Amino acid sequence: MNPLEGLVKKALTRLAGEGALTEERMRTVWERAAGARAATHSAPVSLRRARLIVNVDTSSWLYELTMRRPEIMRRLGGKIGGRAVKTIQFRIGEVGGGVAPPGERRA
């Protein structure tokens, strides 16, 4: 492959969105970092200027995840989908249409 072909392939990949940080990819990484139970009560909603914004469904989960922020940051390794994360901001908000695991109520 010549250099021009490589540049064209890279440009087309970017335009096609391959490697882009999709909502699904962000949720998958979030679940691994926060844990499955916490992920049912929270959802990453944006990543801008190295700040990950995460909605949580109740104030108790807001407190829990705020206390676990350093641990979650270590698990993320400072990145999500190849993009830098310097801080996580938790806020009460819409989490999505997930179903709570058996035996656990959604508030």
Question: Token digits for 18?
Answer: 């391959």
Amino acid at 98: G
Q: What is the mean pLDDT of the chain?
A: 80
Domains and CATH numbers, the chain: 22-92 (3.30.300.180)
Q: How far apart are CA 88 and CA 54, in angstroms?
A: 7
Query: Which helix (H) or strand (E) element contains residue 39?
Result: helix 36-39
> 63-104 pLDDT, tens per residue?
999 999 999 999 998 888 788 899 999 999 999 854 343 344
Query: Which helix (H) or strand (E) element contains residue 71?
Result: helix 69-76
The pLDDT, as a whole number, for residue 90 is 98
Short-list 89, 101, 81, 80, CA closest to 38: 101
Confidence of residue 22 (pLDDT cuts 50, 70, 90): confident
Give this prediction's pTM: 0.70
Give the chain's end-to-end CA distance (angstroms, integer): 56
